[in-house]
């Protein structure tokens, strides 16, 4: 047992930190889709990074595309962006 594990055990804390897996609001479907890709090891961190950089999620909570193609979008939605 290494020193850190022993100190944590004496303090009554878990040896492994508990990480909260939480996606940004509106990014649940994107994270769900990212989990399926073997190259993405932390979809929650990547989704927070992308949101902070100004990206927008293109998936619904269920993981389906919000808009199948640009033709299905209303012109008003395009004007907002």
Query: Which pLDDT tens digits describe the chain residue by residue (81 residues)?
Result: 578 788 888 888 777 766 677 889 999 999 999 999 999 999 999 999 999 999 999 888 888 888 755 555 555 555 554
- Give the pLDDT of residue 17: 67
Q: Give the global pTM.
A: 0.58
Residue of 37, 35, 27, 34 whose CA lies nearest to 61: 27
Q: Are 33 and 60 in contact (CB under 8 A)?
A: no
Rounded to 10 degrees, what is the CA torsion of 53, 58, 63, 68? -160
Q: What is the CA radius of gyration of the chain?
A: 19
């Amino acid at each position: 047992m290494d020193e850190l594990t022993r100190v944590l055990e004496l303090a009554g804390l878990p040896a492994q930190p508990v990480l909260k897996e939480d996606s940004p609001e509106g990014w649940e479907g994107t994270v769900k889709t990212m989990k399926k890709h073997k190259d993405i090891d932390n979809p929650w961190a990547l989704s927070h990074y992308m949101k902070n950089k100004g990206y927008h999620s293109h998936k619904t909570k269920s993981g389906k595309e919000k808009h199948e193609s640009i033709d299905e979008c209303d012109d008003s939605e395009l004007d907002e962006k």
